[in-house]
């Protein structure tokens, strides 16, 4: 059995079979300021008390601070729910993006089943958890009962070998994989990442990989925890390794498909408008005019991303025709970036730095694109209208490429600077 099947089997007390429908107990349920109110509305029709006020986490991150009357009302509904239900774990004062905050605050562990009313909940698979997104109505049932149902997914084994070249990151790797498999190529499958390259990735890089598993349609992305991941979880949860439920795939696990990628010669990858699988090497799109750059999001707003951007921006200036927006993924990351001098570097270069949150990623807050504008972004989606006007365009790249492009005014290889 593979790691996902083992987690699900453990939960129901017997071996599961891909394709069967099972009901499982949930270990953790999450919603944010955008999805909490519709979940609450449905919940209140079926129950007056949540199943466990310590296993629900609510984070305000999508529109923080509230930018419209509507978002303010949504947050008001969620705050009232937190108080009336006594929700113990809530982060509503700008602590950061849910998918960064939950691991930071020790809510994520290997072997857990985690659901959230956000499609990028699959991020937590980087820690060896079975983690997936769901709709607000489904989450309402979880809030009421602590249970949900899954069809046990078939699994794809995605093995990666080789060494990433300097300046090439796991963002480039996952874009390359999505370009090969396609945006619907792994629909309702488990995307299990493995191999020597994955084993050697740090925690932040691994989170980027599983975060974007949904962009090829996967039900969940998952990895066996490596040593750095185990150390991170132990530090954040206060538990020892022996107290964690670390599961690994059997050597004879059965997969529906197996893929092998080699990264030795891979250059930076760019997802071009308007699909995440429209991926091309940087050299093929270099020179494309941009109006805005954005570094942030639950995909690439972490400290390593800010470090990569700061190294490119140090002593340079953002092009006069470009707006560069930088948003750390959490308050903790923001504070570390300040201590390391990254924020000063960004401001000196002419970038705009905003409080932790999702920002322009969803096209609703702090950096919306107008008609005909083009952005290069470290985010996870570039669908038509994703970051603003339907006639705007979004290219996806790693943080270093975004920073270099903001300096040049067009998509640029950082090596050229």
Q: Per-residue pLDDT tens, the chain, 417 aa: give them.
A: 999 999 999 999 999 999 999 999 999 999 999 999 999 999 999 999 999 999 999 999 999 999 999 999 999 999 999 999 999 999 999 999 999 999 999 999 999 999 999 999 999 999 999 999 999 999 999 999 999 999 999 999 999 999 999 999 999 999 999 999 999 999 999 999 999 999 999 999 999 999 999 999 999 999 999 999 999 999 999 999 999 999 999 999 999 999 999 999 999 999 999 999 999 999 999 999 999 999 999 999 999 999 999 999 999 999 999 999 999 999 999 999 999 999 999 999 999 999 999 999 988 889 999 999 999 999 999 999 999 999 999 999 999 999 999 999 999 999 999
Total Cβ atoms within 10 A of residue 138? 16
Distance between terminal CA atoms of the chain?
48
Q: Which residue matches tokens 């953790």?
A: 28
* Residues whose CB is less than 8 angstroms from the CB of residue 314 and which lie 6 or more positions away in sequence, other chains included: 345, 349
Dihedral (Cα; 63, 68, 73, 76), 10-degree rounding? 50
CATH number given to 3-261: 3.30.499.10
Q: Give CA–CA dist 115/95, Å, rounded.
A: 20
**Chain centroid, CA 129 distance in Å:** 14
The answer to whether the 3-261 and 269-416 domains have the same CATH topology is yes
Domain residue spans in the chain? 3-261, 269-416
At 376 the pLDDT is 98
At 314 the pLDDT is 98
CATH superfamily, region 269-416 = Aconitase, domain 3 (3.30.499.10)
Structure tokens at 380: 């996870």
* Residues whose CB is less than 8 angstroms from the CB of residue 352 and which lie 6 or more positions away in sequence, other chains included: 323, 324, 325, 326
Question: How are the residues of the chain apportioned to helix, strand and coil, as percentages rounded to the nearest 5?
Answer: 40, 20, 40
- Residue among 146, 144, 264, 143 nearest 196 (CA): 264
Q: Give CA–CA dist 40/82, Å, rounded.
A: 10
The pTM (predicted TM-score) of the whole model is 0.95
């Amino acid at each position: 059995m593979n790691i996902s099947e083992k987690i699900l089997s453990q939960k129901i007390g017997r071996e599961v079979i891909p394709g069967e429908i099972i009901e499982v107990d949930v270990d953790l349920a999450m919603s944010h300021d955008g999805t909490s109110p519709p979940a609450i509305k449905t919940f209140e029709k079926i129950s007056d008390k949540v199943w466990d006020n310590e296993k629900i986490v609510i984070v305000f991150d999508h529109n923080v601070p509230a930018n419209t009357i509507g978002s303010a009302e949504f947050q008001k509904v969620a705050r009232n729910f937190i108080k009336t239900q006594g929700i113990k774990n809530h982060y509503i004062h700008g602590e950061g993006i849910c998918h960064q905050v939950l691991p930071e605050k020790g809510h994520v562990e290997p072997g857990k089943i985690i659901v959230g009313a956000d499609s990028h909940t699959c991020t937590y698979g980087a820690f060896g958890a079975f983690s997936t997104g769901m709709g607000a109505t489904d989450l309402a049932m979880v809030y009421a009962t602590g249970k949900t149902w899954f069809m046990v997914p078939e699994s794809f084994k995605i093995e990666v070998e080789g060494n990433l070249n300097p300046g090439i990151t796991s963002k480039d790797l996952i874009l390359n994989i999505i370009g090969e498999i396609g945006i619907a190529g792994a629909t309702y499958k488990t995307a299990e990442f493995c191999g020597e390259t994955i084993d050697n990735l740090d925690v932040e890089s691994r989170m980027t990989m599983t975060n974007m598993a949904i962009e090829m349609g996967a039900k969940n992305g998952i990895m066996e925890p490596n040593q750095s991941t185990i150390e991170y979880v132990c530090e954040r949860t206060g538990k020892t390794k022996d107290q964690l439920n670390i599961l690994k795939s059997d050597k004879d696990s059965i997969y529906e498909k197996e893929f092998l990628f080699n990264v030795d010669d891979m250059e930076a990858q760019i997802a071009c408008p308007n699909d995440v699988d429209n991926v091309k090497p940087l050299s093929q799109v270099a020179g494309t005019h941009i109006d805005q750059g954005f570094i942030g999001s639950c995909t690439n707003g972490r400290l390593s991303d800010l470090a990569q951007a700061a190294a490119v921006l140090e002593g340079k200036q953002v092009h006069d025709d470009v707006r560069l927006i930088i948003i750390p993924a959490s308050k903790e990351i923001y504070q570390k970036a300040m201590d390391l001098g990254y924020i000063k570097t960004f401001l000196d270069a002419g970038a705009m730095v905003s409080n932790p949150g999702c920002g322009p990623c969803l096209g609703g807050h702090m950096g919306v694109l107008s008609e005909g504008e083009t952005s290069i972004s470290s985010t996870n989606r570039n669908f038509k209208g994703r970051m603003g006007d339907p006639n705007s365009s979004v290219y996806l790249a790693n943080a270093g490429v975004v920073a270099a492009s903001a300096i040049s005014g067009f998509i640029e290889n950082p090596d050229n600077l």
